[in-house]
Amino acid sequence: MFKHLSAVPGDPLLALIIAHRNDPNPNKVDLGVGVYKDDNGNTPILNSVKKAEAILLQQEDSKSYLGINGAPEFAAVIQELLLGKDNTIIKDKRIFSAQTPGGTGALKVAADFIGSSLPNPKIWVSDPTWGNHLPIFRSAGLSIETYPYYDPETNGVRFDDMMKTLKADAKAGDTILLHACCHNPTGVDLSFEQWQEVTSFVAERGLLPLVDAAYQGFGDGLDEDMAGLRHMASIIPNMLICNSFSKNFGIYRERCGGLSVIAETSEEASNAYSIIGLAIRANYSMPPAHGAAVVYTIMNDPELKAEWVEEVSAMRNRINTLRNQLVEKLAASNTKKDFSFIRAQRGMFSYSGLTVDQVHTLRNDYSIYIADTGRMNVAGITDNNIDYLCDAIATVVG
Ligand code: PMP
């Protein structure tokens, strides 16, 4: 039955993780894997999460099924975090939200919804974008187009080219995927002014924005990171938002996220939400409970919430401090390359501007593991490895 099958190549990032794990060099540095790490190189459970879990252990009284859309009270948590508590979209009931298995589950359901509900479904994604976006959209039968995004010359956004391409080729009814903040893989975000310009264009052309919010709180702040998304939602009548709680609650393996649909009227949003329910049912029937119960418990307990907000700030500040240290130490090492752009990037990831040859030399000669694209996980840097890392980069870059 399976004789005709041959193995497909594995995910290069997973291969990188295994290569790092098997490397006996005591000085090895892992900047590949996409999870937050503390200064000891660990991905700890947040204190607020541990406390919420203790409460749940006492209070949980059933393991019966949740509904298709998850716990009904969880929708308010998703909406308040994304849009802010007093947003009129929430008050007018123009937004409906489902609890999903991670941001990935949300994206798959959103893609199926687009594929089944919109004529000639096409989605525009940034070049580059998160590696899993393309397989998810492809599997839902969407046709995919890319818009220019990252500029290797300036290490910034190719904003003029982005707008030129979209203006020339995007058609009314097409979907446009935008990263809310902390763009993965580049770390390069749109400025607020650029969000405003994209929003005006999306309104004028009649596009459907699909915003992927996987790193809320990791850029400039929980509210600050949603400024572009909130502006867009205040202007554009229809929108899909996929969010992940994996990073900001550190609950990666619990698989917790949300899919929100916003429409012009409450009735339209409710209709779209019912079709989203069909896509959920056909994919995984119902989401897992635990992660959302943890997030809900934290967000509804003022003390736990305050502790969580502090813990997110600590993760964000550590990453942003590391960015500054990296830039300063690389500048002090007299390398000829200017790395100051790393300071302006946001989130865990940084397109470092290192070439594939330089990345391979760092891997083979120094046991420093960076993705072939040059994407580094800044959170993998520690007080113990930063000097070793900067010396190695300076030697390899020259
Ligand atoms: N979107 C982006 C841009 C991501 O980087 C990730 C996670 N790496 C996700 C979505 C999916 O997150 P989750 O692990 O919650 O499925």
Identify the CATH number of the domain in which residue 190 sits: 3.40.640.10
Count of residues making up the chain: 398
The residue contributing the CA closest to ligand 1 atom 8 is 34
Q: Which of 246, 252, 294 is the best mutation target for the ligand 1 pocket, counting ligand atoms within 8 Å of the beta carbon and taking the most?
A: 246
Q: CA-to-CA distance for 215 and 242, rounded, in angstroms?
A: 11
Do 159 and 190 meet the contact criterion of CB atoms below 8 Å apart? Answer: yes
Q: 390, 329 in Cβ contact below 8 A? A: yes
Task: Return the axis-axis angle of helices 74-83 and 290-299, rounded to nearest 10°.
Answer: 60
Question: Is 28 one of the catalytic residues?
Answer: no
- Ligand 1: does its nearest atom lie under 6 Å from the Cβ of 287? no
pLDDT at site 11? 83
What does the H/E/C string look like for 239-277? EEEEEECCCCCCCHHHCCEEEEEECCCHHHHHHHHHHHH
Q: Is there an atom of ligand 1 within 6 Å of 184 CB?
A: yes
Cα Rg of the chain (Å, integer)? 21
Q: Give the per-residue pLDDT at 363.
A: 97
Q: How far away, in angstroms, is 91 Cα from ligand 1 center?
A: 28
Q: What is the dihedral of CA 15, 358, 328, 24, to 10 degrees?
A: 50
Tell me whether residue 70 is exposed, middle or buried, using C-beta atoms within 10 angstroms of its C-beta: 0 to 12, 13 to 18, 19 or more.
buried
* Within-domain flag for 369: yes
Query: Per residue in 251-263, pLDDT tens?
Result: 999 999 999 999 9
* Same domain, yes or no: 116 and 134: yes
pLDDT number for residue 168: 98
- For residue 60, tell me if it sits in a domain: no
Q: Taking Cα atoms as reference points, which of 14, 29, 28, 44 lies closest to residue 318?
A: 44
Q: Copy the structure tokens of residue 290.
A: 């635990």
CA 257 – ligand 1 centroid, Å: 9
- Quick: pLDDT tens for 69-113: 999 999 999 999 999 999 999 999 999 999 999 999 999 999 999
| Percent of the chain with pLDDT strictly greater than 70 | 100
Per-residue pLDDT, 149? 98
CATH number reported for the structural domain that contains residue 324 in this entry: 3.90.1150.10
For this structure, is 337 an active site residue?
no
Provide the percentage of residues in the chain whose pLDDT is more than 90: 96
- Give residue 23's domain range: 12-45+304-397
Domain shared by 108 and 41, yes or no: no
* Annotated active-site residue in 30, 112, 130, 225: 130
Task: Evaluate if residue 321 carries a pLDDT over 90.
Answer: yes
Cβ of residue 276 lying under 6 Å from some atom of ligand 1: no
Q: Is residue 5 part of a domain?
A: no
Pair 292, 322 in one domain: no
In this structure, the strands spanning 156-157 and 29-30 are: unpaired
Let me know whether 197 and 265 are in one domain: yes
Does one domain contain both 326 and 344?
Answer: yes
Q: In this structure, are 163 and 295 located in the same domain?
A: yes
The per-residue pLDDT for range 333-389, each reduced to its tens digit, is 989 999 999 999 999 999 999 999 999 999 999 999 999 999 999 999 999 999 999
Write out pLDDT tens, residues 204-256: 999 999 999 999 999 999 999 999 999 999 999 999 999 999 999 999 999 99
User: What is the Cα 68 distance to its own chain's centre?
Assistant: 24
**pLDDT at residue 66 in the model:** 92
Residues 168 and 291 in one domain: yes
Q: Which of 127, 74, 88 has its CA nearest to residue 288?
A: 74
Average pLDDT value for residue range 144-151: 98
Q: Is 130 a catalytic residue?
A: yes
Choose the final residue of a domain: 267, 300, 333: 300
Listed residues 300, 331, 361: the one ending a domain? 300
Indicate if the pLDDT at residue 190 is higher than 90.
yes
Q: Are residues 260 and 348 in the same domain?
A: no
pLDDT band, residue 33 (cuts 50/70/90)? confident
Total of domains in the chain: 2
The closest alpha carbon to 372, from 12, 6, 5, 115, belongs to: 12
The reply to whether ligand 1 has any atom less than 6 angstroms from the CB of 217 is no
Confidence label for 12 from pLDDT (cuts 50, 70 and 90):
confident
The one catalytic residue in 212, 225, 308, 329 is 212
Q: Where is the domain boundary, 279, 300, 321? A: 300
ipTM above 0.90, yes or no: yes
pLDDT attached to residue 13? 86
Name the residue of 78, 244, 251, 253 to mutate for ligand 1: max ligand atoms within 8 A of Cβ.
Answer: 244
DSSP 143: E
Confidence (pLDDT) at 334: 82
- pLDDT at 127 > cutoff 90: yes
CA 355 to ligand 1 center in whole angstroms: 25
* Model confidence at 27: pLDDT above 90: yes
Q: Is 276 exposed, middle or buried (0-12, 13-18, 19+ CB in 10 A)?
A: buried
Q: At residue 26, does pLDDT exceed 90?
A: yes
221 with 342, same domain: the answer is no
